Structure formats: structure tokens, C-alpha cells
Copies of this chain bind each other. A is one copy, B any other.
């Protein structure tokens, strides 16, 4: 895309009330717009990153056998009363509103209840199990404090997958697969090294739930990491019993500030019993379905990536989530020949299937370089009278700052 066409521009300062590093940088670089605390619109560059993350997750969900659906934000009180989670005392992040006829409704914070109700129409027999459904859907949570930018928003996109199994064994097998899938997702987005599989508090049906916690200064959680196995224990549950269960010695553990980027949860029969979601087993006996839930917030993940990789010059995107593969910068000024060469390279890249952001603006080199650093695309290629004379392109790695000279053909090979 030509940068002269992009409707956003970089700006010197984020709004004065913005206190989080991820939102500050994303606003300054034109990726997001702050509507109010904890509520951010995604602008063209921001939506491209978010969609890249969504696609990485979607591919894994489909590979798990997940069937994609899209449930609603508006929630029926009667459905939530069945599980006892309608009350603000039980679930304290509800936004509630009402229909014209004064019927009270809520904005979905999660979707165990409505999906369990949906599945009642389809699951009757052991032959109908297992089944997996997931969605990318906007959640609403009335957070008292919303000071972590897109890492803890009041409105945010969530990937929530739910599993429905016949037996604990069938559930456990899928749970393990989902765990491995999550590990691949965090690796693919660039957070593999810094993300720890973490034991956290369970619920009525499971001693533990499991979180994926990413080391991050802006995190709100504290975990204790066994560096050798890369497995952690959330501070909330750390005690002698847990250490024994996991087989760790307290002396080997290192405390880290982290962000919870994903969680997987054994729900047991908590919801199926509340809704009467039963199936007839091989012997014709009625049994409740065993459920699990598996969440990742793509926006939170994007915010975490910003926090982990950004430097004092701006954003630094890992290659699989970057809005473009390459930032092509033309230092043409009035030089028609340079402009022509840059235009030709931009077209050539497009034909090769390499999407680039092409800074064709009439602006000073210093401004273009500062913007490129702020925007944070992994590779910056410069075309100028000097590079044309030398018959090369100047290529800079945003993360390392390393500069090299490369031919057009090698550039295309490198980025393909």
C-alpha cells in the first residue's frame, strides 16, 4: 500500500490520559484510536496486525477440528440464571441494558451458557460426541480499572473454543491437543521463548486450570517459573501441595511479572448439569457432557507483543504478525528516476506476492526513517540516488538495526 494513500499518520504524542505503553505507541503510530478508557478502535495498520493474529489462531482451531460460529453480544437473562451467573455479585463485569419493553439483557463476557443452550439442540447420543466449536467474537467486560491499553479492554475480540466430550479420557486427550496447539500459536506470533505453561487455580471440577503466561514488565500477574522446563506456577496457587503435584522445588523457581495470554479450562459438568445437556451412552444411560473452554484474546496478544518487543524508537513486529512484510522507502525528492525505480520495485514486490508499505510521500528522509522506526515493520528497504548508482537496495532489520545491501532478486527471495 502506498503510504500517501493511508489515511492515518504518525503523531508526536498519545492522548494525555493514556498511561499504557502499548496503547501509547499504537496510537502514536496510527494503529488504534482511543474511544474511551479501555475502548479502542482498530485503524488500517492495527486491523492488519489483529487479522494476522486471528488467522494464525484460526488455522490451529480448524486443525483441532473446531467448527467456527459467531454467537451474539446481547444475552438472555433466563439463560444465565440457569448457571447462576446472571447476578452482578457472581460475575462482576457485566454491562446490562434493556429492550424497549424493559426486559433486562446483558452484554456477553464469555459464552459457556449460550453455547451449552445451543448444544442442547444437537447433542443427544454418544455418537454426537466429541464436538468442538469456536468463535472470534467481541466480548464486553465492565472493568473498574482499564489502564493497560489493549491488554485489558472493556470491549475486545476473543477467540473462545469450547469442547464437548463423552468421557474424562476423551476430554483429557483433547485438552492435551489444545495445549500443544496453544504452544504453537504463541511460538508462531513470536512469543514462544517468553511464554510459560502455568498451573493456576481450577474450579469445582479440576484441581488446576492452565494459563499461558508471557513475561512482560506491564503484566498484572506474578508466576514462578522453572526455567529448565519452561513451566510455571501462578503465585495465586503456589504452596507445598502444588509444588509436589508439579514436581518442582521452590529453590529452582524464578519470580516473573507476566501477562495471561491464554487459558484452558476443564469445566467438567458444571454447565451441562445446570442446563441438562445430557447424552445417552452406549448402554442407553443418560450422562452429562464433559466440557472444556479455551481462550485467547487476539487484542491482548497484540498488546503483549508490543510491550515485549518495542524499543525507544517505536514498535517492533515479529514477522508473522507485522502489518506488512517490508517498509519500502523512496528518497526521491524531485528525482524522477529514483521515483521510477521505487515505483517499479513496489510493483515487482506486489507481483511476487510480497505486501509492502511504500513510503512514496513527499517528505524529508529523517521524517521517513523516524516514521518507519515507529511503525515497526520488520524490514526497511531504502531506494535513493545513491543506492541506484550502486545497483543495490539498502536493507535494515528493525529489531537488530543491522544494515545490509541487497539486490532486488535477493530481497524478493528473502521475503517470500
Within 8 A of B (CB), among A55-75: 65, 67-75
Is A73 a contact partner of B72 (Cβ separation < 8 A)?
no
Is A254 part of the binding interface, using a Cβ–Cβ cutoff of 8 Å? Answer: no
Is A352 part of the binding interface, using a Cβ–Cβ cutoff of 8 Å? Answer: no
Within 8 A of B (CB), among A76-116: 76, 79, 95-100, 105, 107, 114
- In the complex, A154 Cα to B5 Cα: how many Å? 35
User: CB-CB < 8 A to A100: which residues of B?
Assistant: 142-144
Is A403 part of the binding interface, using a Cβ–Cβ cutoff of 8 Å? Answer: no
A interface with B by C-beta (< 8 Å): 5-9, 11, 30, 33, 35-36, 39-44, 47, 50, 65, 67-76, 79, 95-100, 105, 107, 114, 118-119, 121-123, 128, 131, 133, 138, 140, 142-144, 154-155
Copies of the polypeptide in the assembly: 2
User: CB-CB < 8 A to A44: which residues of B?
Assistant: 67-69, 133
> Given A5-B65, A7-B133, A35-B114, are A74 and B42 also a contact pair (CB < 8 Å)?
no
> Given A5-B65, A97-B95, A100-B142, are A72 and B39 also a contact pair (CB < 8 Å)?
yes
* In the complex, residue of chain B having the shortest beta-carbon distance to the beta carbon of A142: B100
Is A97 a contact partner of B99 (Cβ separation < 8 A)?
no
- In the complex, A122 Cα to B8 Cα: how many Å? 6
> Given A41-B114, A122-B9, are A47 and B70 also a contact pair (CB < 8 Å)?
yes
Is B122 a contact partner of A35 (Cβ separation < 8 A)?
no
Taking a contact as CB atoms closer than 8 A, the residue among B43, B121, B128, B155 that contacts A74 in the complex is B155
- In the complex, A149 Cα to B5 Cα: how many Å? 40
Is B122 a contact partner of A74 (Cβ separation < 8 A)?
no
- In the complex, A229 Cα to B122 Cα: how many Å? 48
User: CB-CB < 8 A to A118: which residues of B?
Assistant: 33, 41, 43
A5, A30, A73: most-surrounded residue (chain B CB, <10 A): A73
- In the complex, A18 Cα to B79 Cα: how many Å? 18
Taking a contact as CB atoms closer than 8 A, the residue among B8, B39, B71, B142 that contacts A41 in the complex is B71
Task: Give 10 CB contacts A-B under 8 Å.
Answer: A6-B67, A7-B128, A36-B74, A39-B76, A42-B71, A43-B69, A73-B155, A97-B97, A99-B142, A100-B142
Is B35 a contact partner of A76 (Cβ separation < 8 A)?
yes
